Each structure stands twice: as structure tokens, then as C-alpha cells.
Amino acid sequence: MNSKSFDIRAALLKSGKEQFLLHGFEGASLRTICREAGVTTGAFYAYFDKKDALFAAIVEPMLERFRVMYNGVIGRAMADVKNNCGNELEAIEFICAHRDEFRLLFDCSGGTRYSGFRERLLDGLFFPSYKACFDSLAGRPVDAGIVRLFVRIKFTQYMELVYGGYTMEEIRRLIRQYAAFTEAGYMRLIDEIKIAP
């Protein structure tokens, strides 16, 4: 094999992703990852100091782009709640374009520094940003319970689109329809919050 045309790091990333998706982080064998990549375990350690570093190298580039995308979507949502469909579509297209990485984080990360990612995403990212949107639109602090419920419902919607096997064409259609439903409900909820004691 010509070493100039063989990218060891890329082969390890590809094999690692496949093995982690099949067996989870804890169940994936470093020996199998290396064998499937066509390299020795010694070659592995020239690129990664441990299996967790390989997992991080697979998911971190996507997570960095996700944070930037999400901050932009939330910023636009706070400025214009009427463009909910466009914001929802941008977020879900990103997530669906990176289904494998999100599946790794949600389903296969036990034993890594990403263990519990789903809860950290919901409580550490989604909840505070949605709470800020609710508070801004209501003109006062909104009960955390209703925001938490809204975030959990929204997350369930996203997961159906990620795991449901829909095509992007189907997702775009469903998002347009669902955004019309949620926008009306969201604005009605804000109106109710404004008049509630």
C-alpha cells in the first residue's frame, strides 16, 4: 500500500465511527477499529492517545459547527419569531446532515466525556436559550416548568426527524407544516403567559 495515498488518520476516523455506531464506545474494540482501518495499534497511538480521543475527533468538528449554527438560529428566533420555519429548517437540516455524529453522542457515548450529552444539550443549551426567548417575548420571567416542557416536546420532534428515516424533501415539508402549528401555539402560549398572574 502506498503510504502517500493512504490517510491513516482518516481511515481510523471512518473505522472508529463505524465501530462506535455498531457497538457503542465501551463495546467497540480498539483492536477491531485498527484492523478495519488497515493499521496497527501502534499506528493508532501515533494519532490518538486513547480511544476517547478518537471519539472526540469524530464528534468535535461537528459540535463546533453546531454551536455556531445554533447561536445564529436562536439569535434570529429572538429577533423574529415569525421566521420560525426557516430557523427550524436550518437546525434540522444541520442535524440530519450529521445524523451519525448525533447518534454517536445520544446513543453511543457512554464511557466518554460526552456521556449524558442529551441531558446537557437539553438543560445546558436548549433550556437557557428558549427561556431567554420566552422571557423576551413575554416581557417578564416565564415559569421554568413550561419552558422545560416546551423544550422536551421540541426535542422529541427533532429526534423523530433524525431517527424516522425521512428524506430531506419529507423533512422540509413536515417542518413547514409543523412550524405553522408550533408558531400559532407558541404565540398563543405567550399571550396566555402575559395575562397570567
| Intra-chain end-to-end CA distance of the chain, in Å | 73
Neighbours of 66 (CB within 10 A): 20
Minimal CA–CA distance to 25: which of 7, 47, 61, 50? 50
Minimal CA–CA distance to 109: which of 67, 59, 75? 59
pLDDT of res. 197: 64
pLDDT of res. 183: 73
Between residues 104 and 160, the one the model is more confident about:
104
Between residues 182 and 44, the one the model is more confident about:
44
User: Minimum mean pLDDT among 100-104, 116-120, 173-177: which range?
Assistant: 173-177
Q: What pLDDT, in 10s, does the model give residues 40-67?
A: 999 999 999 999 999 999 999 999 999 9
Q: What pLDDT, in 10s, does the model give residues 73-98?
A: 877 766 665 556 677 778 888 988 89
Single pTM value for the model: 0.84
State the Cα–Cα distance between residues 122 and 70, nearest whole angstrom. Answer: 13
State the Cα–Cα distance between residues 22 and 171, nearest whole angstrom. Answer: 26
Confidence check: pLDDT of 1 > 50: no
% of the chain exceeding 70 in pLDDT:
92
Q: What pLDDT, in 10s, does the model give residues 151-165?
A: 998 889 888 888 888
Which element (helix H / strand E) includes 67? Answer: helix 51-79
